[in-house]
Each structure stands twice: as C-alpha cells, then as structure tokens.
Amino acid sequence: MPRLALLLTTVIWGATFPATKAALEQIPPLSFLLLRFFLGTLLILLWFAMSRRQLHHDRGLLMASALTTVFLFFGYLLQTVGLQHTSASNSAFLTALYVVFVPMILMRIDRRVVFATTIAVVGLWLLVKPDTSMNPGDLMTLGCAAAFAGHIICLERFTRQFEAPSLMVWQMVAMTVLFLPAPWLEETTVSAFSPTAVLLIGLGVTGVLATLAFAVQMWAQKQVPAQQVALLFASEPAYAAWLSWYFLGETLDVQGWIGSALILLAVMIGAFGG
C-alpha cells in the first residue's frame, strides 16, 4: 500500500511540470516557489488547527527539519537556476539521477537494484534525449539530484524518529521563509501576482495537490526503503511527459514512449518485485 501510494503521488509530481511551465509564462520561478510553499504552509497549518493536532517543536525535531530543509531548498534552487542555463531535457534527465545517487550513498546495492536502476536510466535517456555536452547548468542540476537524494535519505531516517506531520510543517515554514526574498531578487512586478486562471491552476497543482503528495511521502517513507522510493520517483519524468503531451500538446515520439515504458518496468522490478 505505501508503494502504491508513492506511485500515485508521483503522478502529482509529474503534473507539477506542465502546471509550473504554464505559470512561469506569467511569474518568475523563485517568486512562484514562494507562492507555492506559502500556500502549502497555510493548508498544513489549517489542517493542524482543524484537527487540533499538537505541533511538536522539540530540539531534535527542529534540527532534523532544518537538515532536511537544507537538502530540499538546494534541490529546488539548483534545479530552477540550472534550468536557465541548460535544456529542459537535460534538466529532467539529470534531476532523476537521484535514482542512482540514493543506493550509492546508502551502499544498498544488490543485483535487483542495479538491474532496475540501469533500466530506469536507459529509459530516462530515451525519454528526454539529453545532449552529451556539459555546461554550468548541467552541473547545477547534478547538484540538485544529489540534494533531492539527500532529502529522500533524510526522510527515511527522520520520519521513523520523529512525528512526521510536525516534521513536514517546519520544512514548509522554512521553505517559505527562505524564498521570501525572491520577489525582490527577481524584481517581480505586481502584475505577475495577478490571480489569472493559469496561475491559480498552477498553484492548485503545486501548492495544494503537491503538498498532499508530500504528506503521503512523509507517511510512506516510514515503511519504504529510500532506494525504492527513488525508483518510484524516477517515474515522474514519464508522467510529466505524458501529461505535457496530453494537456500542452508537446511531442512524444516512439522513442519517448519506449523510454517511459522502460522506466515503469524498472519501477515494477525494483520497488514491487522480489
């Protein structure tokens, strides 16, 4: 059940790509991230208030949340800044390399994991077709993949040590605070914050649905090993490609369909098999 829940949440993560891409036609990326995390923070705090749940703030939990937030923040920051200096296809491929980083960092390498990871990487290559030249944006995106791998590993440990909902709240609050300077740094105009349909849909997907998906991830990582979580999340580019093809009319050729099928095969072998 936790693995299936993670697979379903990955559909939401995939949907954030076309939703964000459309919203970025109106608002700069870091300002959009500020709105996204601010909305998510309000929702999770509202849920705490309505359910009368106690928000824990002991030192250990706050330290764990701070460390986890560092990885999450740099993941989003490096991905967003890197995307300005590299292609979207390279960004998608390099970001998903956390599927390789997680088992390597944890030294959880067996034949099934290696086999599934290899299939996933081949599938990702066929799906997004990155070029082979490296530039500063690619290096930033590799750093982003390492940061997201660190975040997945932290959640595996800390969700089993501390109360997961409170851990999530402090991450959301910290992310909002860290992105507060964004409108000034990007010199965002007031009109960029206009509540257009595109912006509201983007925030609905990233601020509401993705916050729910994050909550499910926090719950599921108490039970699912980090290397399997990384494999499950490797299906995100496939969902993003399918949704962009369906909603935005983007091209998805035969090679792309084969690549996305290989990614899902790797997920079935590595996360559900054995």
Quick: pLDDT tens for 110-134: 788 788 888 888 887 887 676 666 7
Task: Give the C-alpha distances (Å, rounded to integers) separating 219 from 3, 69, 75, 165.
Answer: 11, 17, 21, 8
Q: Which residue has the higher pLDDT, 56 or 261?
A: 56
Q: Which residues contact 180 (CB under 8 A, 6 or more apart)?
A: 34
To the nearest 10°, the Cα dihedral for 180, 60, 154, 30? Answer: 0
Instruction: State the pLDDT at residue 127.
Output: 75
Report the pLDDT averaged over residues 253-260: 81
Asked if residue 96 lies in contact with residue 236, where contact means CB atoms within 8 angstroms, the answer is yes
Range with top average pLDDT, 76-80, 105-109, 204-208, 266-270:
204-208
pLDDT (mean) for 40-48 = 94
Rounded average pLDDT over 161-180:
94
| Residues 24, 202: Cα–Cα separation, whole Å | 9
Q: Where are the alpha helices (DSSP H) in the chain?
A: 2-23, 29-51, 59-83, 88-95, 98-106, 111-128, 136-161, 164-178, 182-185, 197-203, 210-220, 226-233, 236-247, 254-267
Average pLDDT over residues 143-171: 93
pLDDT digits (tens, 9 = 90+) for 217-251: 888 888 888 888 887 887 777 777 776 677 767 66
Mean pLDDT of the chain: 85
Q: What are phi and psi of 80, to 5 degrees?
A: -70, -45
